[in-house]
């Protein structure tokens, strides 16, 4: 293997290697790179900066590195790529060693590079070489960001009760017997889906305490597994799992939303995958992924997004219909 300076005659080879890198590690979706612009920059670096090509003994290209001065004391490694067949053989190390040597000869004392967060293999290699995090570039989709930044109504609430049964008539009788106690005159029992029957009550949907009482009453009367799923204060998700009228598990996306709690209570308000898997048949991993917790709503996905995740993980009928 040898490392040499690339010349204009090597531009087709550098383009081929660069395109292979782009296919293997695509740019983030927010970075709409123009190939012509990128290739023009490569040509400019070849002409005026540091452009290196690694070759095997018969002259076949193995990889390349590009670097340039970015200040009186700072150099920048702009590109580094090694063909898959040549990896783990010291090619990348040799390329970077030569690039850094040339940057030092030009007066640089530090070198920086950029790597996408998802490229874990490259990040691990750079860390072994001594690179450390210096600054972070944060990116967010605008629609999701605006949704989280839009103030929510602090008094808004909505919720649905899911009964683990296909016996719609029995659910309708239980609902009719109970809802007068909470002053409701608008209840609807949907047709079952995936073994669950959804109960949607106008009063209970707006009142988390009434939603919980409705879920407990239905579980007790029917001897069934019942889930109460709701959004409280427009921002916090609460899931309560009951069996035969007893609470088996409770999840609150922001455990201390209503004030400080003892450490044990905070843990208890995280969804228990073992219990929920037994009650619903859902996968442990899916439950964990669908039920995040944080210190504040702003640190979590929007409440409706969490609800959608829970509905999908537990295979429930739609939350909204």
- Closest by CA to 229, choosing from 211, 213, 245, 243, is 211
pLDDT tens per residue, range 285-305: 999 999 999 998 888 999 999
Q: What is the pTM of this model?
A: 0.56
Q: Are the beta carbons of 253 and 293 closer than 8 angstroms?
A: yes
Q: Are the beta carbons of 230 and 157 closer than 8 angstroms?
A: yes
pLDDT tens per residue, range 2-16: 999 999 999 999 999
- Closest by CA to 63, choosing from 51, 46, 80, is 80
181 pLDDT band, cuts 50/70/90, is confident
pLDDT tens per residue, range 228-252: 999 998 889 999 999 999 999 999 9
Q: Torsion angle, CA of 285/287/292/293, rounded to 10 degrees?
A: -120
How far apart are alpha carbons 242 and 81 in whole angstroms? 55
pLDDT tens per residue, range 138-163: 888 887 777 666 655 555 789 999 99
How far apart are alpha carbons 176 and 188 in whole angstroms? 10
Question: Which is it for strands 61-69 and 50-55: parallel, antiparallel or unpaired?
Answer: antiparallel
Asked if the model's pLDDT at residue 172 lies above 80, the reply is yes
User: Whats the size of the chain, residue-wise?
Assistant: 321
268 pLDDT band, cuts 50/70/90, is confident
pLDDT score for 24? 85
pLDDT tens per residue, range 209-224: 999 999 999 999 999 9
């Amino acid at each position: 293997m040898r490392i040499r300076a690339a010349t204009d005659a090597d531009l087709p080879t550098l383009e081929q290697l660069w395109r292979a890198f782009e296919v293997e590690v695509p740019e983030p979706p927010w970075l709409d790179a123009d190939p012509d612009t990128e290739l023009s920059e490569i040509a400019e670096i070849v002409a005026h900066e540091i452009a290196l090509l690694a070759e095997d003994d018969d002259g076949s290209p193995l990889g390349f590195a590009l670097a340039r001065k970015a200040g009186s004391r700072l150099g920048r490694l702009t590109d580094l790529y090694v063909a898959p067949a040549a990896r783990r053989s010291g090619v990348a190390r040799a390329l970077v060693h030569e690039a850094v040597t040339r940057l030092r000869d030009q007066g640089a004392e530090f070198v920086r590079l950029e790597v996408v967060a998802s490229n874990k293999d490259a990040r691990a290699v750079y860390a072994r070489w001594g690179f450390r995090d210096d600054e972070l570039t944060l990116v967010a989709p605008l629609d999701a960001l605006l949704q989280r930044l839009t103030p929510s109504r602090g008094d808004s609430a909505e919720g649905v009760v899911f009964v683990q049964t296909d016996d719609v008539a029995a659910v309708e009788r239980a609902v009719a017997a109970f809802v007068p106690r909470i002053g409701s005159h608008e209840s609807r029992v949907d047709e079952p889906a995936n073994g669950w029957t959804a109960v949607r009550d106008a009063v209970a949907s707006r009142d988390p305490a009434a939603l919980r009482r409705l879920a407990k009453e239905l579980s007790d009367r029917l001897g069934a597994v019942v889930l109460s799923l709701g959004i409280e204060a427009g921002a916090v998700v609460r899931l309560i799992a009951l069996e035969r009228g007893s609470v088996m598990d409770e999840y609150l996306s922001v455990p201390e939303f209503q004030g400080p709690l003892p450490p044990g209570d905070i843990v208890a308000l995280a969804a228990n995958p073992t219990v929920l898997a037994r009650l619903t048949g859902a996968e442990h991993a899916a439950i964990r992924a669908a039920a995040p917790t944080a210190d504040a709503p702003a640190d979590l996905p929007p409440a409706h997004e969490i609800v959608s995740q829970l509905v999908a993980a537990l295979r429930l009928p739609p939350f909204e219909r």
